[in-house]
Chain A
Amino acid sequence: MGASLLGRLAQGALVVLFVVATCFALIRLAPGDPFFRALDEASVPAEVRAAQLARFGYDRPIPEQFARYLGNVVRGDLGWSHSRGQPVAQAIATALPSTLLLVGTAGLLAFVVGVSLGAWSGWHADRPIARGIDRGAMLLLSIPDYLLALLAVMGPALAWGLFPVGGARTEFGPTGLLGLVDRLHHLVLPVLALALPIAAVVTRLQHAAMRDVRDAAFIRTARANGVPERRIRWRHALRNALVPVLSYGGVQVAAALSGVVVIERIFAWPGMGRLLYDGVLSRDYPLIAGGVLVAAIGTVLGTMVADLAIRWADPRQRNA
């Protein structure tokens, strides 16, 4: 177990390195540079621009830049964000908690709602309500998250004024307990837009897995042995039926980040998705590299947690 964990960590580190290197190279190959907004004037002589690029080492070959960047990262220096005028580490430190709050709440909501709805409806798969739940989930997962977000902004936020249109809190708003309420109020729509499609997929997976496991031999055996029905359902059946949902969760971590980029843009949420989006549009090389580094580490950690959870749920996979 210890050796395999070390191996997995090494593999994870390789993936992070690969992801960061890919994005590092791609953005440098793109036309434009971090100074295109400030220096794309006819009055700026080419030498000034060249000097500015040289100052940050952007005139060097990409592999050399990458090697230098890695060296700096190891020493804890993520560089300077040109577009935000602050160290990248500082920009990430302000953005990351907002995103973790958003993704954490949405992920928790999606999995709790999805697993309980799916488990119940899969166990009672013959009832009309259960089939209705499955169909409803199918409909919901066909609406892309950006579309849900857009509809949420247009209806509940703009037209009916029930929720704020964007942001994570009211500027110069209340503090203390009221401030907390204000933050939760801002959290509702983005969390729902992010969580509902995921909850729908989880519901369907859990529904199918629970329906299949219902008639399995080991459930019949447990029943014949006189194990109480509650225990059969929650300990035997659900634990087994969690495996597909957990492996979906592992794959979903990277996909969820795509969703975060869109949702944060629509709701003006000051998180990592916005940071990456703005970084790409302003060609802020160090900001992109730092954001991608954090995102890749998060993805790899998420996948590993999902793998560990699968091993817990399905002992057969512990030796695999």
Chain B
Amino acid sequence: MKEAHASRETGVRLAAAFLALVGVGALAAPWLTTHAPTAQLDPVALAWQPPSAAHWLGTDSYSRDVWSRLLFGARATMGIAVLAVTVSLTFGTLVGAVAALAPRWLDALLMRATDALLAIPRLLLLLLVVAGAGTLEFAPLAILLGSTGWMMTARVVRQDSGRLLATPHLEGARALGVPWARLLTRHLLPSLLPTLAVAATAAFAAAVPLESGLSYLGLGVRTPLPSWGNLLADAESQPLAHWWVIVFPTVMIAGTVLAANALANAMERQWRR
């Protein structure tokens, strides 16, 4: 049992280290790359170069450097995911916590509306909005992802707030007549932090595939700007001989999601038992 615990610890450290590396790579992308991510160096002579000293991860069909596109793609994918999670977490927490504190009819109304929104397939909603907007810049895309993803957070927060409000600390604060805004910010939210950390990490793990999926479909970040999703779209239907254009984005997407999921699990084990 102890052995399992130790290997679990290592796994969590690896996950955190991977996410940190991706984060640093995304932030420092201009200093870690030698080519611009959209530069077509020589579409005739330099297309489909396998990984080499000059191009660490090879080049794609337009002779663009895959390493640069991967790092700048991390900027797009990670940036959009983080912003989307911020939006969905803020809104979801607000709805869930207010519902828990509100009178019964408002609570029921808010939570039934949340359930109804959960019944709309998220991708369809995104398709409809993206169709309307045409091309979306980074920030609107992130806000769109966040505003369609807050419902699960709201449900978890509502559930946990209900449990917390029954604890002596919060019951006492309520009995002493603490105004509800102060009750929310000073008493309920701090107690919710572990729940929120888990929810945020899980939402991040869901936002990365969603953004990359949309970009893969050509509805998110559009080429020539790189995102992990449209790197895959560029690699689509290539012969396996050009393995470097497909393997690296695949590893990045799956690795990031796996690491985030592992972290969320570890936090859940740590705090919510």
Contacts and interface: CB of A to CB of B under 8 A. Distances in A.
Contacts of B216: 146, 150
B139 interface: no
The B contact surface, by secondary structure, is helix
Interface stretch (A27-35, A112-120, A175-183): A27-35
Contacts of A281: 131
Given A27-B128, A261-B121, A300-B119, 20 more contacts: A15-B115, A23-B125, A23-B128, A26-B125, A30-B133, A139-B258, A142-B205, A142-B261, A144-B253, A146-B217, A147-B209, A150-B216, A150-B236, A153-B236, A154-B240, A258-B124, A261-B124, A277-B127, A296-B120, A299-B121
A14 B238 CA distance: 47
B216 to A, nearest CB: 6
Contact of A262 (B123, B205, B238): B123
A115 to B, nearest CB: 20
A301 to B, nearest CB: 11
A109 interface: no
Contacts of B239: 158-159
Interface of B: 1, 4, 112, 115-116, 118-125, 127-129, 131-134, 205, 209, 212-213, 216-217, 232, 236-240, 246, 250, 253-255, 257-258, 261-262, 265
Given A147-B232, A154-B237, A159-B240, A23 B124 contact: yes
Contacts of B257: 142-144
A299 B258 contact: no
B56 to A, nearest CB: 22
Contacts, number: 123
Contacts of A222: none
Contacts of B120: 19, 22-23, 254, 296
A283 B131 contact: yes
Nearest to A260: B121
